Structure 1
Amino acid sequence: MPMQRLNYQHLFYFWHVVTEGSITAACEKLHLAQPTISGQLTVFEQAIGEKLFYKQGRKLQLTDTGRIVFHYAEEIFALGRELGNTLKGLPTGRALRLSIGIADALPKLVVYRLMQPVFQLPEPVQIFCYEDKVERLLADVSLQSIDLVLSDTPLTSNSNANVFNHLLGESPVTVFATAQLAAIYRPNFPRSLSGAPFLLPTGNTALRRSLDQWFDSESIRPNIQAEIEDSALIKTFGKGGMGLFVAPTTVEAEIQRQYVVEVVGRIAVVKERFYAITVRRQLKHPAVTAILDNARDNLF
């Protein structure tokens, strides 16, 4: 039977377990015994009719339902804090809330550039960022618990019909490396890339598929040192001299400065595309509109 009435005490315990990172930490914060919170979480799950957590090793991870409940709990208790401030006669300073899902393969410097106009809006904006696989984020945006998903791949035709793609733009890619490696592989680019040590994104990313097609078309056989899902980790390994890596040309200067690397060459025919995915075609959230307008007019 579906839950008839939300028990906010149970929701409060659940929210503390997630924000503190474990049941033990939540118990210390709330000065309660572990069986008390564990028991109340079990009752809460039974009332909802769904599991909120699953175990990964010794850690608790949120299920899809748990993630949705947590998003709402964040907003509920933020409103509660505002109510407390209001009753105390303090200014609320309520900010516009923006919840963004970020595909884990998306370059973080591009994400930063995309979100910059949000901080220039006349009204304050409180931003919540969630990084995950695109498929999981799309489940959240279709339920309207996330305002916007930033992704390197569009929504497929067999996905939720009420969710829409907005192409933000595209960028060719640049090959980067430390000064020592760049001096070796910059001459005779791109032929020099055959046998070069490479750090590549994993095969489930759009960029990796495009790179593999280009390597095949040019008969280039790179020496793949590592396949890494997280784009920031690829650059960190690249900074350490573990191999060459690619990133969007649109943030070329920032990558050179932040990771102390040099340009080996540019691959104009390999494009990395960026999409915003929303639950409505007509956009009303001013921060979402600002992100899309800036990307189309300035960034790309």
Structure 2
Amino acid sequence: MPDTMNYKHLHYFWVVAHEGSIAKASEKLHITPQTISGQLSLLEQRIGNALFEKAGRGLALTDTGRIVLRYADEIFELGRELGDVLRGAPVAGPSEFIVGAASALPKTIVYKIIEPALHLPHDISLTSREGPVDGMLADLAVHKVDMVLSDTPVTSAVSVKAYNHLLGESGLSCFAAPRLLKTYKKNFPQSLNNAPVLLPTPQYAIRQLIDGWLQEHNIYPVICGQFDDSALMKSFGQVGMGIFFMSSAIEEEICNNFNVRVVGRIDDVKQKFYAISAERKVKHPAVAAICDTARSALFGE
């Protein structure tokens, strides 16, 4: 990627991308198609990758083209805002902030982590996405998300340039419906032997931590359910199907929202939480607010 960018070439690219063809862009810009074609070729040479590929009678963006378009959208939107400011018009609309959250993370803790970004001096438009971590990291690589929340750090085995920002860690609490409390609270954690439990599916890091802890203490519960969705697991726990494990950082919210009680706490198992970004040093104001508040308040480092 070049150190400097010809913004006239970038503007031609931007118009072609939104119009879908050089002919339509030519009509809009009042410039000959040959001129636009030549300028696009210079831009592609400068970048070192094709930006478009043929799609029927029109053009489709390549992977590189999609990355360039997202930045171009921001650049020319900022240019429009600058023009408005210089003319004395107010800057319209909140800035977009897109967060990807790993499916296994409890929705309550995702909310508590993100919530500080909603109190920045300028308004933001929040988009929250959920899915497997690998998919979220792929979106991060092409700037479709600004930050990924996960309980596992990104490693060198993943072919994505991303950086881990540890937000904090929390022990685990065991929760149960009130009718199960008396039976399993006494003599915890040995009381979990042969107890009905609800667990995340084995693909998740938290499940591996729980399995290791159970094995270490020679505890063999009866697994009554395994879940990809932590909210669904809590709903089944609420009706007494079994005991479930969640971060102690959201203990109060879980008890109040699901009418369950704490059976016991596991302080020697720590679930870690990470904000993963495309930048080594956090510059995005929303990501910075999230990191600072999580470390100082939510996880109490």
TM-score range, shorter-chain basis?
0.7 to 0.9
Seen in structure 2, the aligned counterparts of structure 1 residues 298 and 47 have a Cα distance that, compared at 3 Å, is farther
- Gap change, CA 1:240 and 1:120, over 3 Å in 2: same
2:281 corresponds to: 282
Asked if the contact 2:172–2:266 (Cα under 8 Å) also holds between the matched residues in 1, the reply is yes
Per-residue deviation, 1:96? 1.9
Q: Secondary structure of the residue that 2:174 maps to in structure 1?
A: strand
* CA distances 1:60-82 after superposition (whole Å, capped 9, x unpaired): xxxx99x999x89x989x99xx9
Aligned twin of 1:298: 297
The 3-state SS of whatever aligns with 1:165 is strand
User: What is the match of residue 129 of structure 1?
Assistant: 128
Give the Å deviation of 1:4. 10
Q: Which amino acid aligns with 2:162?
A: V
Is contact 2:137-2:160 (8 Å) kept? no
Code of the aligned partner of 2:128: C
Give, in whole Å, the separation in 2 of the partners of 1:141 and 1:251. Answer: 27
Q: Deviating runs (4+, > 2 A) in structure 1?
A: 3-11, 43-51, 90-93
Judge conservation of contact 1:10–1:44 (CA < 8 Å) in 2.
no
TM-score (norm 2): 0.72
Output the CA distance in 2 between the equivalents of 1:48 and 1:103: 37
Superposition pairs for residues 219-234 of structure 1, below 5 Å? 219-234=218-233
Identify the residue that residue 178 of structure 1 maps to in structure 2: 177
Alpha-carbon distance, 1:6 to partner: 4.9
**Partner SS for 1:291:** helix
Q: 1:241/1:123 Cα in 2 relative to 1: closer, same or farther (>3 Å)?
A: same
Give the Cα separation in 2 of the matches to 1:48 and 1:99.
Answer: 30
CA separation in 2, counterparts of 1:297 and 1:283?
16
Matched, 1:149 2:148: yes
Q: Does 1:212 align with 2:211?
A: yes
1:107 aligns with 2:114: no
Aligned amino acid, residue 213 of structure 1: G
In structure 1, distance between residues paired with 2:58 and 2:255:
50
CA deviation after TM superposition for structure 1 residue 162, in Å: 2.3
Q: Deviations over 1:148-200 (max 9, x none)?
A: 00001100222236210111111000000000011111111111101111110
Q: Contact between 2:99 and 2:148, CA under 8 Å: does it hold in 1?
A: yes
Counterpart code for 2:243: L
- The structure whose Rg is larger is 2
Q: Distance in 2 between matches of 1:291 and 1:224?
A: 35
For normalisation by structure 1, the TM-score amounts to: 0.73
Structure 1 residue 231: deviation in Å?
1.0
Q: Which amino acid aligns with 1:212?
A: D
**Aligned residue number for residue 265 of structure 1:** 264
8 Å CA contact 2:237–2:244 kept in 1: the answer is: yes
Whole-Å Cα distance in 1 between the matches of residues 265 and 135 of structure 2? 33
Deviation of the 1:8 alpha carbon: 3.7
The verdict on how the C-alpha distance between 1:124 and 1:219 changes in structure 2, with shifts beyond 3 A counting, is: same
Q: 1:9 to 1:48 in 2, by over 3 A?
A: closer
Q: Which residue of 1 aligns with 2:158?
A: 159
8 A contact 1:68–1:140 mirrored in 2 = no
Per the TM alignment, residue 97 of structure 1 is displaced from its structure 2 partner at its CA by: 1.4
Count of aligned residue pairs for this structure pair: 250
- Percent sequence identity is 43
Q: Does residue 255 in structure 1 map to residue 254 in structure 2?
A: yes
Report the AA paired with residue 101 of structure 1: G
Measured at CA, do residues 274 and 249 of structure 1 come closer, stay the same or move farther in structure 2, by a change above 3 Å?
A: same
| Alignment check: 8 A CA contact 2:54 2:60 kept | no
| Cα 1:196–1:68 shift into 2, 3 Å | farther
**Cα–Cα, structure 1 residues 244 and 118, in superposed 2: closer, same or farther, change >3 Å?**
same
Q: Is the 8 A contact 2:172 2:247 kept in 1?
A: yes
Give the Å deviation of 1:9. Answer: 6.4
Counterparts of 1:114 and 1:44 in 2: how far apart (Å)? Answer: 43
Q: C-alpha distance in 2, partners of 1:266/1:205? A: 20
Partner residue in 2 for 1:116: 115
TM-fit CA distance, 1:93? 3.1
